[in-house]
């Protein structure tokens, strides 16, 4: 079973593809990017 | 629940505008944000002030935040279970939606992002508001920063050490509150047994002295000041480090006068301890900011990547010691094997200043020269804060001549305050050395190039506008002129190879160009024209400041020459 972190990475890759294709994002995509970013910061803080 | 909601609604109706501030970084930044909104509260009590912060940093500060904000929204990332298989994207998005819906009811007039991290920019893009200040992402995932003070913060604070402003003043400017200097008198605690709050830790190793050095400081402080006590404070994860200090055999004889409460207090309890203490001594940290919040005198030891100008506790007469090590301040990502800067602040100076402050003495240039050995002074900068034109200012008390970075920070302060804040700031002419004189001459050449490039930029922007307004606009010509503008942008960056101290000017211009206003070629070109015009104005002011400083130096050297010879 995947962790939320792993699922967010997958979603991030999907959104990155959209951006590479020049498609504009939806507000829900920005929410995923926000969660992915928070997850990354959370992991950095844990390692400090 | 209904009663509370009704009360809230009534309160909201009395307020004319709602301002929401995003500050999702650490406790120290939150205290600095509180210091920035203090004036806003005084000047605009009719505004509803809302804070959006992360639970883990803001909850411990609730006792302060509730005094300054009408409402605090806590973003609880801990409950999202990022590393657990039980967390799902659907649940996380639902939880986020719930949080955003609550904020939506505020009908925010202005959303102000003071965090400058990617997560805060994404958060700002997910919150609806009539106006957005600070960074946010648009639907093309492009970071937008539309106000000039945020652009300046982004281009100078994030990229180098030439920012001349305290973060609190930058926050005030971004919010749009004209800075008012805070209470200027430090508290004098009439205690029979004066207590020093000591925080010998920091968020990263490069910012903190080894335990042995702190043992020396504590030993000498307690030996020289027979009446005082020292309270060691810190977080739970610093308990072990604090034990290494207090259990050192050298301090055994003073154990009755060392109180170690590391990891044993809440922030509120810590705040109460600080409020009744005589002095704060420690590294750059939220404890220092909390001391300034209570107007308690502070002595900060700045090491590693700490920038004293930005984070010295925001109050008058705050003392900060920083090393004169060439690589100071570094970046967190720089590799560093020797931490040379840790050795360049001698503990003897720290102890002398502590003794002076405990005796309610004044730390000024005269005292520094009289009471400290030149050998110890040679590797350290001693800064003291005061408010000038309502802005926080750090004066270097160490000796007559300033270092090149200090000089440029002063030039930038005068320039930014004039261009962005419409404020005329005055500083005495700094004393130059032959080496700083040479560096100023190099920078003069760079400024000359930047000025010429800005003039060309205006010219080609004008050509594009003229071509568009002609009867038969030529796309080829417009493309040619646009290409020239791109070349100018690249050449501006090239100038930094020979004049790296001009980085803030070029970086600011880059951020401005990345955030042009308008949705058509005419508006965008007009906006580009104004960027180049502003860039020319900045370089012209800087050139004049450097030129006058050099002239003053030459007069003082008895080599007065005419203005035309200055850059020879």
Tens-place pLDDT, residues B344-378: 999 999 999 999 999 988 999 999 999 999 899 98
Q: B114 with B209, same domain?
A: no
Q: B155 with B63, same domain?
A: yes
**Residues B1-31 pLDDT 10s:** 444 556 566 666 667 899 999 999 999 999 9
pLDDT at residue A48 in the model: 59
Distance (Å) from the alpha carbon of B237 to chain A's nearest alpha carbon: 11
B chain contacts of residue A1, beta-carbon cutoff 8 Å: 85
**Lateral strand order in the sheet of B258-260:** B258-260, B229-232, B195-199, B279-283, B298-301, B319-323, B380-388, B391-396
Say how far apart CA B132 and CA B534 lie, in whole Å: 23
Percent over 90 (pLDDT), chain B: 74
Phi then psi for residue A5, to 5 deg, are -55, -50
Q: How do the domains of chain A map onto residue ranges?
A: 4-47
Burial B523-535 (b: 16+ CB within 10 A, else e): eebbbbbebbebb
**Pick the residue with more confidence: B560 or B271?**
B271
Domain count, chain B: 3
Up-side HSE of residue A11: CA atoms within 13 Å toward CB? 24
Q: Is residue B423 part of a domain?
A: no
Q: B267 with B239, same domain?
A: yes
Contact B92 A4 (CB under 8 A): yes
Alpha-helical runs (H) found in A1-48: 4-20, 27-47
Q: Is residue B288 part of a domain?
A: yes
pLDDT at residue B12 in the model: 61
A chain contacts of residue B82, beta-carbon cutoff 8 Å: 3-5, 8, 38-39, 42-43
pLDDT at residue B564 in the model: 47
Q: Provide the token pair at B401.
A: 């001549």
Q: B389 with B451, same domain?
A: no
- Give the residue on A whose Cα is nearest the Cα of B122: A34
Contact B139 A28 (CB under 8 A): no
**Residues B375-423 pLDDT 10s:** 999 899 999 999 988 899 999 898 766 789 889 999 999 999 999 998 8
Angle between helix axes B521-556 and B404-421 (nearest 10 degrees) is 140
Q: B339 with B213, same domain?
A: yes
Q: Residue B159 is part of a domain; what is its CATH number?
A: 3.40.50.2000
pLDDT at residue A16 in the model: 85
Q: B379 with B270, same domain?
A: yes
Angle between helix axes B475-498 and B503-513 (nearest 10 degrees) is 150
Q: B103 with B207, same domain?
A: no
pLDDT at residue B5 in the model: 58
Q: List the beta bridge partners of residue B280.
A: B197, B298
Residues 6 or more apart whose Cβ sits within 8 Å of residue B474: B467
Say how far apart CA B406 and CA B225 lie, in whole Å: 34
Task: Read off the pLDDT band of B125 (50, 70, 90).
Answer: very high
Which of these three, B399, B420, B455, is where a domain ends? Answer: B399
Say how far apart CA B56 and CA B38 lie, in whole Å: 23
| Minimal Cβ distance to B122: which of A1, A30, A42 | A30
Distance (Å) from the alpha carbon of B128 to chain A's nearest alpha carbon: 11
Distance (Å) from the alpha carbon of B101 to chain A's nearest alpha carbon: 13
* Burial of B421: CB neighbours in 10 Å, binned 0-12, 13-18, 19+: buried
Q: Is A26 on the interface with B (CB under 8 A)?
A: yes
Contact A48 B77 (CB under 8 A): no
Instruction: Give the count of Cβ contacts less than 8 A between chain A and B.
Output: 83
Best to test chain A binding among B53, B82, B98 (most A CBs inside 10 Å): B82
**Pick the residue with more confidence: B88 or B324?**
B324
Say how far apart CA B484 and CA B474 lie, in whole Å: 16
Q: Are residues A4 and B87 in contact, defined by beta-carbon separation less than 8 angstroms?
A: yes
ipTM of the complex: 0.90
Q: Is A43 on the interface with B (CB under 8 A)?
A: yes
Of B129-133, B140-144, B302-306, B555-559, which gets the smallest average pLDDT? B555-559
Contact A3 B137 (CB under 8 A): no
What's B376's DSSP letter? H
Say how far apart CA B512 and CA B211 lie, in whole Å: 45
Question: Measured in whole angstroms, how far is the alpha carbon of residue B244 from the centre of its chain?
Answer: 32
Say how far apart CA B344 and CA B329 lie, in whole Å: 13
Q: Is residue B258 part of a domain?
A: yes
Angle between helix axes B286-293 and B27-43 (nearest 10 degrees) is 30
Cis omega (within 30 of 0) for bond into B359:
no
**Residues A14-26 pLDDT 10s:** 888 888 888 888 8
Contact B140 A24 (CB under 8 A): yes
Best to test chain B binding among A1, A2, A3, A4 (most B CBs inside 10 Å): A4
**Pick the residue with more confidence: B264 or B13?**
B264
Sign of the alpha-carbon torsion through B51, B57, B58, B61? negative
A chain contacts of residue B123, beta-carbon cutoff 8 Å: 34
Say how far apart CA B533 and CA B527 lie, in whole Å: 10
pLDDT at residue B239 in the model: 97
Q: Is residue B421 part of a domain?
A: no
Q: B382 with B451, same domain?
A: no
Residues 6 or more apart whose Cβ sits within 8 Å of residue A41: B77, B117, B119
| Minimal Cβ distance to A4: which of B87, B118, B141 | B87
Task: Read off the pLDDT band of B90 (50, 70, 90).
Answer: confident
Q: B373 with B243, same domain?
A: yes
Angle at B154 between CA B58 and CA B514, to 5 degrees: 130
Q: B155 with B210, same domain?
A: no
Say how far apart CA B70 and CA B11 lie, in whole Å: 9
Distance (Å) from the alpha carbon of A27 to chain B's nearest alpha carbon: 7
Q: B86 with B127, same domain?
A: yes
Structural domain harbouring B68 = 15-175
Judged against a pLDDT cut of 50, whether residue B309 lies above it is answered with: yes
């Amino acid at each position: 079973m995947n962790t939320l972190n792993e699922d967010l990475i997958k979603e991030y890759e999907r959104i990155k593809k959209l951006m590479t294709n020049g498609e504009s994002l939806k507000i829900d995509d920005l929410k995923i990017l926000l969660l992915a970013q928070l997850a990354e910061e959370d992991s950095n803080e844990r390692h400090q | 629940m209904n009663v509370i909601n009704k009360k809230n609604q009534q309160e909201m109706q009395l307020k004319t505008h709602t301002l929401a501030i995003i500050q999702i970084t650490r406790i120290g930044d939150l205290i600095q944000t509180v210091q920035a909104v203090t004036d806003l509260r005084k000047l605009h009590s009719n505004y509803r002030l809302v804070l959006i912060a992360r639970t883990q940093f803001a909850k411990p500060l609730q006792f302060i935040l509730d005094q300054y904000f009408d409402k605090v929204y806590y973003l609880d990332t801990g409950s999202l279970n990022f590393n657990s298989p039980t967390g799902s994207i659907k649940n996380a998005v639902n939880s986020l939606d719930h949080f955003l819906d609550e904020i939506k009811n505020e009908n925010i007039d202005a959303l102000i992002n003071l965090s400058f991290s990617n997560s805060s920019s994404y958060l700002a893009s997910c919150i609806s508001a009539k106006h957005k200040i600070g960074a946010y992402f648009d639907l093309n995932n492009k970071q937008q920063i539309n106000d000039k003070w945020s652009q300046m913060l982004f281009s100078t604070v994030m990229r180098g050490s030439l920012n001349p402003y305290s973060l609190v003043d930058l926050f005030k400017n971004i919010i749009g509150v004209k800075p008012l200097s805070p209470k200027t008198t430090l508290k004098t605690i009439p205690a029979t047994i004066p207590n020093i709050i000591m925080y010998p830790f920091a968020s990263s190793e490069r910012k903190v002295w080894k335990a042995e050095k702190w043992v020396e400081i504590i030993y000498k402080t307690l030996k020289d000041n027979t009446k005082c006590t020292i309270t060691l404070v810190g977080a739970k994860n610093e308990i072990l480090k604090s034990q290494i200090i207090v259990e050192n055999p050298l301090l055994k004889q003073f154990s009755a006068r060392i109180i170690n409460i590391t990891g044993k207090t809440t922030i509120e309890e810590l705040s109460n301890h600080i409020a009744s203490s005589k002095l704060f001594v420690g590294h750059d940290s939220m404890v220092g900011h909390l001391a300034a919040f209570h107007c308690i005198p502070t002595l900060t030891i700045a090491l590693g990547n700490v920038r004293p100008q930005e984070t010295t506790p925001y109050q008058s007469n705050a003392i900060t010691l920083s090393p004169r090590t060439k690589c100071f301040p570094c970046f967190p990502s720089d590799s560093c094997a020797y931490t040379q800067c840790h050795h360049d602040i001698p503990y003897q100076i720290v102890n002398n200043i502590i003794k002076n402050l405990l005796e309610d003495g004044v730390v000024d240039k005269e005292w520094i020269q009289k009471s400290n050995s030149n050998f110890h002074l040679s590797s350290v900068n001693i800064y003291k804060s005061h408010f000038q034109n309502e802005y926080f200012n750090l004066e270097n008390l160490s000796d007559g001549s300033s270092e090149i970075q200090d000089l440029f920070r002063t030039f930038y302060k005068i320039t930014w305050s004039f261009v962005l804040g419409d404020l005329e700031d005055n500083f005495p002419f700094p004393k130059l050395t032959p080496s700083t004189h040479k560096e100023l001459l190099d920078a003069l050449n760079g400024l000359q190039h930047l000025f010429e490039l800005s003039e060309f930029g205006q010219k080609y922007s004008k050509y594009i506008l003229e071509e568009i307004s002609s009867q038969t606009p030529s796309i080829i010509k417009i493309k040619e002129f646009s290409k020239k503008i791109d070349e100018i942008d690249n050449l501006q960056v090239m100038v930094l190879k020979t004049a790296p101290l001009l980085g803030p000017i070029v970086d600011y211009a880059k951020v401005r160009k990345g955030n042009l206003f308008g949705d058509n070629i005419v508006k965008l070109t007009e906006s580009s024209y104004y960027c180049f015009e502003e860039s020319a104005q900045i370089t012209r002011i800087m050139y004049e400041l450097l030129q006058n400083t050099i002239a003053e130096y030459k007069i003082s050297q008895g080599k007065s020459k005419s203005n035309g010879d200055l850059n020879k």
